[in-house]
Structure 1
């Protein structure tokens, strides 16, 4: 269904933009892997493993885009609503990354995972909050309890935080 807010864009432009995003993401993950390799002892394992997997996944994404680039000559219709949702997601993600040093990874994850589906209109609020609580709790359990990996100071999941009684 087309509306007056829809516009056509050549598919190769979209593929080129997506390819650029994949390469930038691969470069970001590669940089994080390089930084993570400087950590001492077992603290380097998770950042290095996750960053390496992210680099490989991003490169696989880029290779897949290269394979379909020459065959895609048609146009694609994009709606302004889709662009608004994309812009909202970008702003939320940048806010998430900027919030990590100030409120901690687990708290920022809880807020990001809880707020994003609500603002994007994807899930009811109670689904998003339950999913955010489960994911944050699982991340805390895996990293802090099972792996005994040092996590940055956190507002909620810290020894002096809201859930201090658990420790």
Structure 2
């Protein structure tokens, strides 16, 4: 199990480092949140690496095998995430983000429709206002907001 933690921690660290470097181009203060999140992920992956290398007895034992349904659900979530990234520019941030949150929640089995839709719209609306009004960061033109012009 320790070797899996070592490999996972290295992958997460490299991914986080890439995110940290790429966020530098955001400018206008918009880089603070993604860079902060990347730093937290790098610290956590570093701790995971240290635990696996120096204290392998602390790594949880046991076999963690995924059921086929879990593998399918994970694959669907990965595909939804790839689609989200691809659709941000053509659909816009708000439309793609609302669709992403709803699709991921449904794929994970969440079925409280009112809570799901309210959460998606309010969360994305809050993020949109924060980036546009507070950080003054332009986001891709959006289909939803285009209807109101």
TMscore range, shorter length: 0.7 to 0.9
Higher Cα Rg: structure 1 or 2? Answer: 1
Secondary structure, counterpart of 1:156 in structure 2? helix
1:121 aligns with 2:104: no
Q: Decide which of 5, 22, 26 is 1:15's aligned counterpart.
A: 5
1:31 aligns with 2:16: no
The count of aligned residue pairs is: 144
Which has the larger share of helix? 2
Q: State the 1:105 CA deviation.
A: 1.4
Secondary structure, counterpart of 2:28 in structure 1? helix
Q: 2:118 maps to which residue?
A: 130
Question: TM-score, normalization: structure 1?
Answer: 0.73
Q: 1:109 maps to which residue?
A: 97
1:117-140 deviation per Cα after TM superposition (whole angstroms, max 9, x unaligned): 111103423322111111121122
Higher relative contact order (CA 8 A, sep 6+): 2
Q: State the 1:148 CA deviation.
A: 3.8
Counterparts of 1:65-80 in structure 2 under 5 Å? 65-69=48-52, 70-71=56-57, 72=59, 74-80=61-67
Q: CA RMSD in A?
A: 2.2
Q: Decide which of 57, 67, 80 is 2:40's aligned counterpart.
A: 57
Structure 1: which 5+ runs fail to align? Answer: 1-10, 37-42
Which has the larger share of strand? 1
When residues 129 and 96 of structure 1 are mapped into structure 2, their CA distance, relative to the original with a 3 A threshold, is same
Q: State the 1:92 CA deviation.
A: 1.3
Structure 2: which 5+ runs fail to align? Answer: none
Which 4+ residue blocks in structure 1 deviate beyond 4 angstroms?
none
8 Å CA contact retained: 1:114, 1:132: yes
1:72-110 deviation per Cα after TM superposition (whole angstroms, max 9, x unaligned): 273332222332222222111111111111111121111
CA distance in 1, matches of 2:86, 2:17: 19
